Structure 1
Amino acid sequence: MSVFARGPIGLLTAMMLIISPHLAEAAVFSPQTMTLDNGMQVVLVENHRAPVVSHMVWYKVGSADETEGVSGIAHFLEHLMFKGTKDIAPGDFSKIVARNGGNDNAFTSWDYTGYFQNIARDRLEMVMGMEADRMRNLQLSDDVVLPERDVIIEERRSRIDNNPGALLGEQIRASLYMAHPYGRSIIGWLNEMQTLSTEDALAFYRKWYAPNNAILVVAGDITMAELKPLAEKYYGVIPAGDVSTRHRVKEPTQHAPRKVTLTDPRVGQASMSRYYLAPSYNSENADQAAPLEVLSEILGSGTTSRFFRSLVVDQSIATSAGTFYDPVAVDLASFGLYAVPRDGVELADLEKAVNAEIAKVVENGVTEDELARAKQKLLDSAVFARDSLSAAARSLGEALAVGLSVDQVESWPERINAVTVEQINAAAKAVFDDKRSVTGWLQPPEGGPTNGMPAAPVTGEQEVN
């Protein structure tokens, strides 16, 4: 199990297709959908290039839905879902998948928890039966729960506590979201993880894991005529649950910029990052989301972006610079940027240069040429998306799990094509508000690091496996 920074994986990078800006009416994945009698949504993306399938079950619950005092329980339960049922012994789930030539894993984010298996088409029915089994028949006891609690605590220590960049990322988000649970660590706060119990896990399981709070997404070599009876056979017989409604507090008005500095002897190279509160496709000002996707492409995507050309090439003040933005969320999103200084450059000077670049965007906006190149690059970068089973299943599952629709996924190219310079400039002015930002500095102590650990720009924890 591992923690990784996912970056802007949602609608910006994962759900594109072979399309040019002149084909705005084209669909993305052309999925087929149905809903079982118990409320479970079923989505299929046909791909007959090879006799394989990607089978995913998404639950509309994540760490932001945890109650106070049990942070990490969503991720803990994700681990415990592999601990067996009456028919499958603890630890055997993944072994069975592997013996049949497949691979599987799971992940937890703030808004969802997902489980997947990539396997040969003729083994799909087997994994559907196994996944449906643990949806309703999970067996937990202290004998398996408490040792696994030690596993996730060690995971936190190795992936977060021993990683200065990850630690700083946690602190930045905790400062960015003063009230909203997006400021909570997905893996959990250590002091609360140490008290998680079998009953905590079972209570969370009973509260959220039900077919009417789940989405089945299958991509691959199968038709809806073949998938529907299998879905009804294995998932359709599970009774709908009394699923709770998500209750999210609203982030209060923020009145001052915040700054977090982490000095650590393990840091081999300093870096800076900044997060701004930003709209998502579900929040207020959702019409700014597509313009912000294009803005992120213009400012910080690759070596031709504004930030890279100015900070790295022209000024030679940084070794890398970029931006990140993922508008696929139940509530707010964040627009982030990062930069790593060249040797001998102080973080204060680098931050001053970054501020100057942001001021240029706010004051002067972007150009028509930049807009055209960004649109083309966004859409052209999706050339291989339809060939990937996981990209289709991932993009649709993520969008549906946060409350978006299939139509919103399919119309993404149209939204990008419709973005104007005026919309980007207005969104930049709205989002680049210092009062709604947190700046993070990651630096070694005076005299330099003690072990020369390579630095990684802080782009934020997004998911935990």
Structure 2
Amino acid sequence: MPAVFSRCRARLTGAAVGAFALLLVGTAPASAVEKGVFYPESFTLSNGMQVVVIPNHRVPVVTHMVWYKVGAADEPRGQSGIAHFLEHLMFKGTDAVPAGAFSRTVAKNGGRDNAFTSWDYTAYYQNVARDRLELVMRMEADRMANLKLTDAVVYPERDVIIEERRQRIENEPADRIGEQIQATVFVHHPYGTPVIGWPQEMSRLTREQAEAFYKTWYAPNNAVLVVSGDVSAEELKPLAERYYGVIPARAVPERTRVGEPPIAAARRVELRDAEVRQPSIRRIWTAPSYRVDPDKQAYALQVLSEVMSGGPTSRLYRNLVVEQKVATSAWLGYSPSAWDLATLGAGATPATGVPMDKLEAALAEELRKVVQSGVTEEEVATAKKRMLAEAAYARDSLTGPAQALGAAVTTGQSIDEVEEWPVRIDAVTAEQVNAAARAVLGRENHVTGLLLPLKDKES
């Protein structure tokens, strides 16, 4: 599952990006056969910066986002956490906007701002009134080109991200095992390295490394401006040219990442902790992403996820929670938005008194049944209808469309591909869903993670 760490005003908050799993599976109009999701307008500045505008004139408010095509998976080896560290340092000021002034100015003008880092991208955003758009564009463009870092601001902030890791990961058993599962799924690819970084490397990050990362990747031709709300491309273009268009393009390296070696063995990760009150099981496979999908399975896997886990009538909930009563929750999740391989996972939490081995066997049996017997045409038709009906409301949001398109274009999708989502989902057949299920769930190279309390060691 993709991970994101966000810098908040408390400066200690990191957020899992589970919500982003819905980026491109919950954003289509109810009419599934017509092309169109957000109906954006787009243009490119002379320096290579892509601009995407999503008009929404319901209220005089805009979401302004700048996405950089760089994330934790692009870090130099041995510098894990540098992408997230730089995200924090981007708030430390320029000559024009001193440290702390950026967020204070946004708040003073009635808005809110934040930023987040994933393996594949880093993004900065502000939600402001329409008449404050030019203000945040000026400040965001300023720190794209003119960030000033000193030891006096860098090293105290390094202590902040180390403390963030302690609070968000090391003190949370569910996050600790999630980190270990991810590192076991990806044994060679940098997706196995946590976005926030490994602690022994975080403690050695330097100002010089942060500056080098900034100068390497933070260029207008490696960024995407996404603005959603009460504005049109015609209105935005002169502002984008005035503030972003004057920043010179720079040579940016291609993303070069090592591949994941073939692994045939099933693997297990177990964590016991006194703080665990609710045990759980997860099973994770690597899976195609939108960009890395040679067999065209991404859309079928989204439908499979809906069949298996789309509400109280879905297979896993109905069979494990309602009928067998071995679980209090059960799920199957898949997000195809990744530059390289994605993951597909299933999991459950046991009902009171149910041993973990019994729950694991029941979950495995449900997954075996879908591999061997498949899903029906009726299940697929119902799932697609539900996906598109629920998605009809997504465009009412300002931030949701901006997040969806930003994540899409920074992980290799085109705007046309995003807009074709309804047509592609509508075209998915039961045969395609079953083939995709066999291709992913039929493999035995999964990772099973068990989160357990210290007691009940017989489970």
TM-score, normalization: structure 1?
0.94
Shift of 1:17: 3.2
1:350 is aligned with what amino acid?
L
* Paired residue total: 446
3-state secondary structure, aligned to 1:277: strand
Corresponding residue of 2:18: 7
3-state secondary structure, aligned to 1:9: helix
* 1:157 maps onto 2:195 in alignment: no
- Correspondence 1:230-379 to 2 at 5 A: 230-285=239-294, 287-379=296-388
Task: Specify which of 12, 25, 40 is matched with residue 34 of structure 2.
Answer: 25
1:193 is aligned with what amino acid?
M
Unpaired runs of at least 5, structure 1: 449-465
Corresponding residue of 1:38: 47
Corresponding residue of 1:207: 216
Give the Cα separation in 2 of the matches to 1:15 and 1:433. Answer: 27
1:384-404 superposed Cα distances (whole Å, 9 cap, x missing partner): 211111111111111001111
Task: Work out whether residues 8 and 324 of structure 1, in 8 Å CA contact, stay in contact via their aligned partners in 2.
Answer: no
1:159 is aligned with what amino acid?
R
Give the Cα separation in 2 of the matches to 1:135 and 1:108. Answer: 16
Give the superposed CA RMSD: 1.3
1:4 is aligned with what amino acid?
A
Corresponding residue of 2:415: 406
Shift of 1:249: 1.1
Task: Work out whether residues 10 and 395 of structure 1, in 8 Å CA contact, stay in contact via their aligned partners in 2.
Answer: no
2:283 is aligned with what amino acid?
R
3-state secondary structure, aligned to 1:247: coil
* 1:384 maps onto 2:393 in alignment: yes
Structure-2 change in CA distance of 1:8 and 1:51 (3 Å): closer
Task: Work out whether residues 276 and 436 of structure 1, in 8 Å CA contact, stay in contact via their aligned partners in 2.
Answer: yes
Corresponding residue of 1:453: none
Corresponding residue of 2:156: 147
Task: Work out whether residues 8 and 326 of structure 1, in 8 Å CA contact, stay in contact via their aligned partners in 2.
Answer: no
Task: Specify which of 85, 90, 94 is matched with residue 76 of structure 1.
Answer: 85
Shift of 1:26: 3.5
Give the Cα separation in 2 of the matches to 1:271 and 1:10. Answer: 20
1:36 is aligned with what amino acid?
L
Structure-2 change in CA distance of 1:79 and 1:14 (3 Å): farther
1:300 is aligned with what amino acid?
S
3-state secondary structure, aligned to 2:164: helix
Task: Specify which of 9, 16, 38 is matched with residue 27 of structure 2.
Answer: 16
Unpaired runs of at least 5, structure 2: 1-7
Shift of 1:286: 5.3
Give the Cα separation in 2 of the matches to 1:8 and 1:408. Answer: 21
Task: Work out whether residues 62 and 110 of structure 1, in 8 Å CA contact, stay in contact via their aligned partners in 2.
Answer: yes
Shift of 1:184: 0.7
Task: Work out whether residues 12 and 293 of structure 1, in 8 Å CA contact, stay in contact via their aligned partners in 2.
Answer: no
Structure-2 change in CA distance of 1:11 and 1:443 (3 Å): closer
Q: Return 300-309 or 93-102, whichever deviates more.
A: 300-309
Give the Cα separation in 1 of the matches to 2:232 and 2:122. Answer: 26
Shift of 1:165: 0.4
Task: Specify which of 213, 219, 227 is matched with residue 228 of structure 2.
Answer: 219
Structure-2 change in CA distance of 1:230 and 1:14 (3 Å): farther
Task: Specify which of 97, 113, 119 is matched with residue 104 of structure 1.
Answer: 113
Shift of 1:92: 1.1
Runs (4+) off by over 3 Å: 10-15
Task: Work out whether residues 19 and 26 of structure 1, in 8 Å CA contact, stay in contact via their aligned partners in 2.
Answer: no
Shift of 1:323: 1.3
Give the Cα separation in 2 of the matches to 1:14 and 1:221. Answer: 25
Give the Cα separation in 2 of the matches to 1:96 and 1:8. Answer: 28
Shift of 1:285: 2.8
3-state secondary structure, aligned to 1:422: helix
3-state secondary structure, aligned to 2:224: strand
Task: Work out whether residues 8 and 325 of structure 1, in 8 Å CA contact, stay in contact via their aligned partners in 2.
Answer: no
1:107 is aligned with what amino acid?
F
Give the Cα separation in 1 of the matches to 2:40 and 2:303. Answer: 25
Corresponding residue of 1:438: 447
Shift of 1:18: 2.9
Corresponding residue of 1:126: 135
Shift of 1:19: 1.7
- Larger RCO, structures 1/2 (Cα 8 Å, 6+ apart): 1
1:359-387 superposed Cα distances (whole Å, 9 cap, x missing partner): 10011100111101100111111122111
Task: Work out whether residues 53 and 120 of structure 1, in 8 Å CA contact, stay in contact via their aligned partners in 2.
Answer: yes
1:201-243 superposed Cα distances (whole Å, 9 cap, x missing partner): 1010000000000000011111212100000000000000111
- Correspondence 1:160-179 to 2 at 5 A: 160-179=169-188
* 1:422 maps onto 2:455 in alignment: no
Task: Work out whether residues 294 and 424 of structure 1, in 8 Å CA contact, stay in contact via their aligned partners in 2.
Answer: yes
Structure-2 change in CA distance of 1:331 and 1:447 (3 Å): closer
Structure-2 change in CA distance of 1:399 and 1:320 (3 Å): same
Task: Work out whether residues 274 and 338 of structure 1, in 8 Å CA contact, stay in contact via their aligned partners in 2.
Answer: yes
Give the Cα separation in 2 of the matches to 1:435 and 1:140. Answer: 48
1:165-208 superposed Cα distances (whole Å, 9 cap, x missing partner): 00000000100011111111001111100011101110100000
Task: Work out whether residues 26 and 390 of structure 2, in 8 Å CA contact, stay in contact via their aligned partners in 1.
Answer: no
Structure-2 change in CA distance of 1:54 and 1:75 (3 Å): same
Give the Cα separation in 1 of the matches to 2:260 and 2:114. Answer: 33
* 1:66 maps onto 2:67 in alignment: no
3-state secondary structure, aligned to 1:3: coil
1:9 is aligned with what amino acid?
F
1:251-278 superposed Cα distances (whole Å, 9 cap, x missing partner): 1111101100000111011100011110
Task: Work out whether residues 58 and 214 of structure 1, in 8 Å CA contact, stay in contact via their aligned partners in 2.
Answer: yes
Task: Work out whether residues 36 and 419 of structure 2, in 8 Å CA contact, stay in contact via their aligned partners in 1.
Answer: yes
Corresponding residue of 1:192: 201
2:188 is aligned with what amino acid?
A
Task: Work out whether residues 25 and 302 of structure 2, in 8 Å CA contact, stay in contact via their aligned partners in 1.
Answer: no
Corresponding residue of 1:462: none
Give the Cα separation in 2 of the matches to 1:306 and 1:88. Answer: 54
1:285 is aligned with what amino acid?
P
